[in-house]
Chain A
Amino acid sequence: MNRNPQLNAHGELQHLITLEGLSREILQGILDTAEPFAEVAEREVKKVPLLRGKSVFNLFFENSTRTRTTFEIAAKRLSADVINLNINTSSASKGESLLDTVDNLAAMQADMFVVRHASSGAPYLIAQHLAATGREHIHVVNAGDGRHAHPTQGLLDMYTIRHYKKDFTRLTVAVVGDVLHSRVARSQIHALRTLGVPEIRVIAPRTLLPSGVADMGVRVFQDMKEGLKGVDVVMMLRLQNERMQGALLPSPQEYFKYYGLTPDKLRLAKPDAIVMHPGPMNRGIEIDSAVADGSHSVILPQVTFGIAVRMAVMSMLAGS
């Protein structure tokens, strides 16, 4: 049997590690499920009892206050008990200590691990380890691993696009910026393809494009003005300074000149185009404040939708 390791024997999502290989039905199912969760946030009591008595462990081996907070809020609005662990890794024996950590927390009756890790594949390793040791009832959510994937970010981006644009099958979507280091970009491109977006463009300088990006079914542009022409959605990426090794960029100022999203460049997109950014933003490097705070920006709604999407994912996993 060659089934997707994220799915259980009934074809239900058991872990969420990557959007790659998940069907359109599953992705749409998550987006559909997120809709009623968005309503919960409008209530007097912003909480539903689905995960009451469940323990969700946020295992953050890499710092990310925002992502951790949104997962924490999502789990708490599902009535789960949330335990946050910020574990800074440095040593070479990561693999061993990672699984030791997991074993210890599993012994504390964990029901779900939300994992952020600098190494690609860490959440998958944990899921495999749990399966190999007969603890597949513990669910794993990838909250970002290395350059690999950030599936809940990809999903909340899809939720945002669907909210404003309704139909994926008529859209031109541009992903702009540091694709090379971006797990977000990979998750976005997989999801956009699966959901039937006919034209996906990637706009970046050659030095920030991963090799083989064209094989992902995208059109590559190095000229941002050319690439933004007529697009419905502009998905900006954060310039990941902390991941830069060597001289990939001349200077932040020069990057802004060629690849920063300014009102002038945005005028080339469709008049009703939306601008997205996963945060945290580098204002004046990849995005001009006038755009970030402008009328096309849906950056703050993305944050709000992100909680509903994470509630949907957690409740689907925990109920599988």
Chain B
Amino acid sequence: MPTLPDATALCAQLAAAMRPSITPQTALVGIHTGGAWIAERLHRELAIQQPLGSIDVAFYRDDYNQRGLHKGAKASNIPFDVEGAHIVIVDDVLYTGRTIRAALNELFDYGRPARVDLAVLVDRGGRELPVAATWCPQTLALPASQTLVLERDGETLSFRITEK
């Protein structure tokens, strides 16, 4: 069993890594739900001026024909003008890259951003698409049988590994 990543420490590292690239035009979009929690925190810590966005990729997932509509889909909320914006997509774990592909497709239905970056806490390998994070404080090789899940208890974020 590998050591569990420390979500709080990783959030701080991620914020520090992102700080030099933040401009008044930078907007954050957290992927529902874990990414949205992290984006909330980064938004505060980095004093981002653009309102915080969140995205639920349920309507853009590529496994709809195999698995149907993802239950518990939430409305996406993009409260800034995507056209010409610098957007940072925020997620908890980068794995196959399929969620990021879906998020990019969804974002582009709101407009044409000038630049899109990706910020994640953990890269667990296993990519199935050519997707790379701009900022990622930790890599962690996990077997396909395991899932790395971010949980929130009050203000505390923590990781948990579950067996499929």
Contacts and interface: CB of A to CB of B under 8 A. Distances in A.
A49 interface: yes
Interface string A26-49: 000100110111111001110111
B75 A320 contact: no
B60 A48 contact: yes
A47 B105 CA distance: 11
A226 interface: no
B74 interface: yes
A315 B69 contact: yes
Contact of A49 (B59, B73, B82, B110): B59
Contact of B68 (A37, A47, A320): A320
B3 interface: no
A99 interface: no
A43 B59 CA distance: 14
Contact of B109 (A12, A29, A44, A319): A44
Interface in B97-127: 105-106, 109-111
Interface size classification for chain B = 20 to 34
B68 A36 contact: no
Interface residues of A, number: 21
Contacts of A268: none
Contact of B69 (A38, A49, A50): A50
Nearest to A78: B59
A73 interface: no
A37 B77 CA distance: 12
A316 interface: yes
B71 interface: yes
Nearest to A10: B68
A50 B105 CA distance: 12
For B60, B65, B69, B105, the residue with the greatest tally of chain A CB atoms inside 10 Å of its CB is: B69
A316 B71 CA distance: 9
Interface of A: 12, 29, 32-33, 35-40, 43-45, 47-50, 315-316, 319-320
Give 9 closest A-B pairs by Cβ, nearest first.
Answer: A319-B68, A48-B59, A39-B75, A45-B109, A36-B75, A319-B69, A36-B73, A315-B69, A319-B64
